Amino acid sequence: MHQQVLFKTFVESFNSNSNHGIIAQRVNPQPPFFTTGMEFAGPFQIKNKIGKGGSHVKAYLAHFICFSTRGVHLELVTSLSTEALIATFRRFVARRS
């Protein structure tokens, strides 16, 4: 009898806390990349040309994350300027919308 009471108390406390802190965008069904987060990584050194005479250029990685499916979309960005960010976002929307 004592074990049944402890188990029932454990199950009740688990069920009441299971939805605590879960964002609605991650639980409700949505199309992929409907709710998206974005972050940058880098800088990385990439080679501008293949073969001899190629110079190294600083590049960054734009990382788009889908909140509902946990999908990932990666884009290479050459600078952290506003123009480069808008161009990267437009490429992302063109491919994923």
The pLDDT, as a whole number, for residue 64 is: 93
Average pLDDT, the chain: 79
> Which one is predicted more confidently, 21 or 74?
74
Tell me how far apart the terminal alpha carbons of the chain are, to the nearest angstrom: 57
Give 63-75 pLDDT, tens digit per residue: 999 888 888 999 9
pLDDT in tens, 25-40: 566 778 888 888 999 9
Residue 45 CA, chain-centre distance (Å), reads 23
Q: What is the DSSP string of 26-60?
A: HHS---TTSSEEEEEEEEEEEESSSSTTPPEEEEE
Confidence check: pLDDT of 2 > 50: no
SS3 72: strand
Ordered by start, the domain boundaries in the chain are 29-96
Predicted model pTM? 0.64
Q: How far is CA 64 from the centre of its chain?
A: 5
